[in-house]
Amino acid sequence: MPDPAIPAALAGKPFDACRVGDSASWTHRLTEEDVRRFAELSGDYNPVHLDDSYARQHGFRSRIVYGMLAGGAYLSRVLGMLLPGPGALWLTQDTRFARPIYLGDEITITVRVTQKNDALRTLVLETAATNQRGERVQSGEAKVMMLMNEKTLPWDEMTAVVTGGSRGIGAAICAALGERGARVVVNYHQQAAAAAEVVAAVEQLGGRAVAVQADITAAADCARLVEAARAAFGPVNVLVHNATPPVIEKALLDLTEEDFDGYYRAYVQGAFNLARQVVPEMKAAGCGRIVHVLASAVLGNPPPGLAAYVAAKSGLLGLSRAMAVELAPFGITVNSVSPSVVPTDRWRDVPDTRLRAMVRGIPLQRFATPQDVARAVLICLGPEGSYMTGVNLPIAGGEVM
């Protein structure tokens, strides 16, 4: 429990708020009771600490206080309560004893941050102890790690932006979130009527929803989308990036720069634009969930005629992994799901003979459904996935293993 003697305003500092140069101090006058309790706790009854006459025989003016009271116990008090504070795990300590400490001395313990590692959540601190005359009695260096309290994200506290949410996989994800009581922002590009139907379905299932038009390839539209989400439901803590342009098969040499650019902007640039909008508030909250919908083609042998599509989806996979590493220290998970063929409306013109041939190559002997993909997304978002980040789940019926 926090010591009531420490003002609440000084009782610790969030790791994200710690900066190189930050410092904290605590002052204490050493008493016989301090020495007695330390002796009992440590089992160290060395007479130099307990017997004045013995200490004088060896050149000290009186008994000397245990050095580890200042450099251990009281330094621990500062690290564990003031800077960085509760959650600090003391990793290493280098202490140099400059002069003895005596009963009645008023010792000031000071720590100052000299290095910070965001990825490892560690701080290196210069440590010092001075007496009432300003004389340095100890100096050293400490290294501490800040433990991170796992923050759960209950379904009914989720504000989720789902891009491409008006149909197919996106609509199924919106419905699955609504069924669990989440607040859902159904993003659409052109299908306003379809998006309105998804909103109605979410609300019928027990969630709350709004539809917001935005072209996620445009940074300004992404900013407007997230601002609309905030206005409706508050800070965004869940992002599912599912939007896709029409996927058209083209032979490699028939592809144009515009083809590559269109896929890249939708998948990679869109994900980046959205992350820039939602990650700051996720970091501030110490929790967030991001899921990117990819394709099994990034894992197995890519089908012919989809080079630009596969290249862009593979780029999004790389971005997802990079984001997972960088954002993990802030309690934000970034995962992906990679479905194989999901017979949505874009497959309506594919001949039945080709579909039957394709399904024979799937061990489970069926195509994925939008609901299959939605269930995988929920694993990434829910408590079951709280310790999972940088993962790409293949939703492929065994076609990719």
Model confidence over 216-251: pLDDT tens digits? Answer: 999 999 999 999 999 999 999 999 999 999 888 898
CATH number belonging to the domain at 8-146, selected among 3.10.129.10, 3.20.20.70, 3.90.226.10, 1.10.150.120: 3.10.129.10
Backbone angles phi, psi at 369, to 5 degrees: -105, 160
Mean pLDDT over 289-296 rounds to 96
Per-residue model confidence (pLDDT) at position 20: 96
- At residue 2 the predicted structure's pLDDT band, cuts being 50, 70 and 90, is very low
pLDDT, tens digit, 9 for 90 and up, residues 142-191: 999 988 766 779 999 999 999 999 999 999 999 999 999 999 999 999 99
Q: In the β-sheet with 136-146, what is the strand arrangement from edge to edge?
A: 23-29, 106-117, 122-130, 136-146, 88-97
Query: Which residue, chain included where needed, has tokens 């709350």?
Result: 208
- At residue 343 the predicted structure's pLDDT band, cuts being 50, 70 and 90, is confident
pLDDT, tens digit, 9 for 90 and up, residues 67-100: 999 999 999 999 999 999 888 999 999 999 999 9
Residue 54: active-site member: no
- At residue 37 the predicted structure's pLDDT band, cuts being 50, 70 and 90, is very high
> CATH says 155-395 is which class?
alpha beta
Cβ atoms of residues 342 and 373 within 8 Å: yes
CA-to-CA distance for 261 and 123, rounded, in angstroms? 42
Per-residue model confidence (pLDDT) at position 1: 39
- For the chain, the structural domain boundaries read 8-146, 155-395
CA-to-CA distance for 289 and 279, rounded, in angstroms? 10
Neighbours of 130 (CB within 10 A): 21
Tokens describing residue 25 = 């101090």
Strand 88-97 relative to strand 136-146, pairing: antiparallel
CA-to-CA distance for 217 and 224, rounded, in angstroms? 12
Mean pLDDT over 100-128 rounds to 94
Of 66, 267, 309, 387, the catalytic one is 309
